[in-house]
Amino acid sequence: AQTVTQSQPEMSVQEAETVTLSCTYDTSESNYYLFWYKQPPSRQMILVIRQEAYKQQNATENRFSVNFQKAAKSFSLKISDSQLGDTAMYFCAFMNGNTDKLIFGTGTRLQVFP
């Protein structure tokens, strides 16, 4: 069975600084996808970034980038130039490419301070 582990329950960062959120996963599959979702106080789940396991290049989306280490089964999220609006829960998620199921980690609560 696949599992997703986020070992940092809470993180904080000052505005304009950089922060990295950690995620590790366990799977024996070779075809899979990894995601980071943001959940602000509004509760809406917002996709931040995605990574296909077969791609070696790390995904980037503006201020958000990932460090995908396939052999180590690690998938960390880096937020550069942090903004107050980045304050939210962040969930790492895994999807087996052969099934329809997303498996989520327990989340990291990020607080951005002015």
Partner 1 sequence: NAGVTQTPKFQVLKTGQSMTLQCAQDMNHNSMYWYRQDPGMGLRLIYYSASEGTTDKGEVPNGYNVSRLNKREFSLRLESAAPSQTSVYFCASRGTLAGGYNEQFFGPGTRLTVL
Pick from 22, 27, 7: nearest CA to 66: 22
Q: Which tokens is 45 given?
A: 């789940």
Which conformational region is residue 110 in: left (phi greater than 0), alpha (psi within -120 to 50 degrees), or beta?
A: beta
Kindly state whether residue 50 participates in binding partner 1, applying the rule CB under 8 A.
Answer: yes
Label residues 46-71 b or e (16+ Cβ within 10 Å = b): eebbebebeeeeebeeeebbbebeee
At its nearest, how many Å lie between partner 1 and the CB of residue 4?
8
Q: Give every CB contact of residue 8 below 8 A, 6+ residues apart in sequence.
A: 21, 22, 108
Kindly state whether residue 64 participates in binding partner 1, applying the rule CB under 8 A.
Answer: no
The residue (of 56 and 100) whose beta carbon lies closer to partner 1 is 100
**The one among 13, 24, 52, 87 contacting partner 1 by CB under 8 A:** 52
**The one among 10, 12, 45, 60 contacting partner 1 by CB under 8 A:** 45
Kindly state whether residue 40 participates in binding partner 1, applying the rule CB under 8 A.
Answer: no
Kindly state whether residue 84 participates in binding partner 1, applying the rule CB under 8 A.
Answer: no
Question: Where on the chain is the footprint of partner 1 (CB under 8 A)?
Answer: 4, 33, 35, 42-45, 47, 50, 52, 91, 95, 97, 100-107
